[in-house]
Amino acid sequence: MVVLLGSYTIPFLGVSVFIAALIYITYTLLSDYLRKWFEMKPIPQVEGHIPSLETRCKFFRQIEDYTREFADAPLLKLWIGPVPFVILFHAETVEPIVTNPVHMEKAVVYNFLHPWLGTGLLTSTGSKWRQRRKMLTPTFHFSILADFLEVMNEQAEILVEKLDKKVGKGSFNCFSHITLCALDIICETAMGKKIYAQSNSDSEYVKSVYKMSDIISRRQRTPWFWSDLVYYYFGEGKEHNRILKVLHSFTYKVINERAENVSNSESDSDSDDGAKKRRAFLDMLLKTTDEEGNGMSHQDIQEEVDTFMFEYSCHATVSNSSGMLSGHKLSFCDLKASAYIRRLLKNIFPTISRTFFVPVDGFKVPKGANAVIIPYARHRDPRYFPEPEEFRPERFLPENSVGRPPYAYIPFSAGLRNCIGQRFALMEEKVILSSILRNFNIEACQTREELQPVGELILRPENGIWIKLEKRKLQTL
């Protein structure tokens, strides 16, 4: 008996330790959940409704419906799995979150971007974010952005040539044409690398950018796959890693090639024929140093290049409007003077998420709760934007903006973590939109309901954007 008992001692102890650990973890998680549940109980919540996680379109539409149904409430609460989210969609409740330097940490759903983007400017926090932001801000100076304008004009010309073939041939989905143009622009300006997405949309890198965005979006909506163990054994973990390898291999190769070919003395010099060489965002990162004179490692640079690619290649703005614009290539002065185009553009992410723990309009919010700011709803607040679904660019005239709270319209977020590349994005959109409007009259072929906006990592139309084109005679002012 003694021998038999001894032979089972180690397995028995192992099982006991496992059960004890499981009980402790369950107790800890359950007590944390209950504490937050009771603390957040007074916060308004839609009763009897569970957000539909099955499709991206239904989920976004349901959140949008909630913000209209509870328009008079200062905030809403929403549980996705065991994680509490507080939905903010009014200027008054958003302001203290985005302006408070304490609330800079991104919400839990941003963790799923880490394998792709690392902890670059979008996903980092604390001292790393502050140091990186300070280092990168000079690379977005307007004089540097002016150098990117030639690339934008060239790619816009290619887009116009492609669209010209659609004239008189009925309706077509223009969304893919615009996004491929944006991808060509960002690859050349960010990495100095032409990928010819507009002529080769079957490029492995091009397809991988969009596939990865879709995969991450699906995981964010499905809390049962938030665990890495579950995700990699039962979810899309293997496909995620396969696509990740394609993305990282591409940027890794470009960074190393650029580092070898571009020296500090060469990057700003003229070429042999007297033409100034084009600078890329990557070239400037290779020369960037902090206050101590320390440069960024290739890993640091890859984080920022991947982040820049993610943020600006996954979206483009298309406005179905027309106007009389100059019939020549846009100069930097033209862009600064094109006030009307600026009022046409609304370039937004569907959500902005932070973790925070401050009272909101008298409601207590527990530490670790996630704030989800809904710009899509906030920018349609009828108190500040009467008949918000009407197309009225004149809303943004200075005289019509008097009395509007500064945080009622923040398409690029606000505060310390506002979008560092917003000038780049607006410049790109002005070039693309004005190039289209100079050459074509546009007829929309969908109602707003048929567009079905989808809140993924970025805002997309579920069914594309279908238009008809008519050739326009170029005129000069």
- Residue 419 is labelled as binding a ligand: yes
Print burial letters for 124-138: b (CB count within 10 Å at least 16), e (below 16): beeeebeebeebbee
Residue 404 contacts by C-beta under 8 Å, 6 or more apart in sequence? 384
Hey, what are 71's tokens?
A: 């328009």
CA distances from 232 to 80, 84, 235, 242, 396 (A): 20, 24, 6, 12, 47
Helix 204-221 and helix 175-191: axis angle, to 10°? 110
Asked if 435 and 159 count as a contact pair (C-beta separation under 8 A), the reply is yes
Asked if 434 and 325 count as a contact pair (C-beta separation under 8 A), the reply is yes
The 3-state DSSP class for residue 191 equals: helix
d(CA 422, CA 290): 23
Number of Cβ within a 10 Å radius of residue 12? 10
Contacts made by residues 245-250, CB under 8 angstroms, sequence distance 24+? 246/204, 246/205, 246/208, 247/116, 247/205, 247/208, 247/209, 247/212, 247/306, 248/116, 248/302, 248/306, 250/205, 250/208
CA distances from 387 to 94, 382, 383 (A): 22, 6, 9
Handedness of CA 393, 395, 401, 404 (dihedral sign): negative
Asked if 113 and 216 count as a contact pair (C-beta separation under 8 A), the reply is yes
- Sheet of strand 76-80, all strands in order from the earlier edge strand to the far edge: 76-80, 83-88, 369-373, 352-356
d(CA 67, CA 89): 7
Asked if 298 and 411 count as a contact pair (C-beta separation under 8 A), the reply is no
d(CA 469, CA 171): 8
Handedness of CA 392, 398, 402, 406 (dihedral sign): positive
Based on its alpha-carbon atoms, the radius of gyration of the chain, rounded to whole angstroms, reads: 25
**Which residues sit in the known binding site for heme?**
419
**Which residues contribute to the annotated binding site?**
419
